Amino acid sequence: MNFTAKERERFDFAVIANWIPPAERVLDLGCGDGRLLRYLRETKGVTGYGVEIDPQSVLNCIRNDVDVIQIDIERGLSGFENQSFNHVIISQALQAMHATERILGEMLRVAEEAVVSFPNFAYRANRAAIAQGHMPVSENLPYQWYETPNVRFFTIADFEALCGKLDIKIRERLAFDENGQEVNDDPNLNGSLAFYRLGQKT
C-alpha cells in the first residue's frame, strides 16, 4: 500500500479510508477532535457522527465542523438502531476502554462492518523496552506509565483470540511498523499498529 506525502502524515487515516466506500454512513467512536471523520468526509463524502465523552474534544469537533454526540460508549450504543450505519470505527481508542467485549458487540449491532485499529503491545520495540525494565514509550504508545489513558495492553494475537471467542469474523488485517511500512512477516512481532475489518459470522 502506497501513500502520498500528505497521507503519510496521518497514514492511519488513509488506511481506514481505503476500506470505506464513498457516501457511506459512518460512526466514529472515541473520535477525539473529529479529524478522522472530517478526513473521511473530505475524501470519501461520508456522512455520520463522531462519539466522544471528553468536553474539550467535543468542542474541538465542533470547531472542525464535525457532528458529534457526547456519550459514554462504555455504556453501549443504545441510542442507535440496529444496522443504522455502514461502518463503525474505533481508531486507536479501544485500549482506553474497559468494556471491550461490549463495545465490539455494539459496533457490529449498529453497523454492517467494524473497523478497529490499535497499538500492538507485542511489537519488538515494546518487548525490548520491557526486557530493559521499562514500560514502552513510542509514537503509537506515547504516554509514560503514570499518565497513560490506556487501560488495556493487548497484542495482535490477543485481539484475534478475543474475536474468536466472540464469534467475530476477521475480514481483513493490516499491520504497519513505526515508519508506516506494511509488514507481513510475523505481524505480532513486527507490527507496531494493527488495523482490522470485522463482521458478524454468518
Candidates 182, 172, 199; CA nearest to 12 is: 182
In this prediction, residue 5 carries a pLDDT of 43
What does the pLDDT look like over 168-181, one tens digit per residue? 999 999 999 998 89
Domain 5-200: what homologous superfamily?
Vaccinia Virus protein VP39 (3.40.50.150)
Quote the percentage of the chain above a pLDDT of 90. Answer: 82
DSSP classification of residue 106: H
How far is the C-alpha of 6 from the C-alpha of 155, rounded, in Å? 29
What does the pLDDT look like over 19-40, one tens digit per residue? 999 999 999 999 999 999 999 9
CA dihedral over 65, 66, 72, 78, signed as positive or negative: positive
pTM above 0.85, yes or no: yes
Residue ranges of the domains in the chain?
A: 5-200
And the C-alpha cell for 167? 464469534
Specify the higher pLDDT residue, 141 or 90. 90
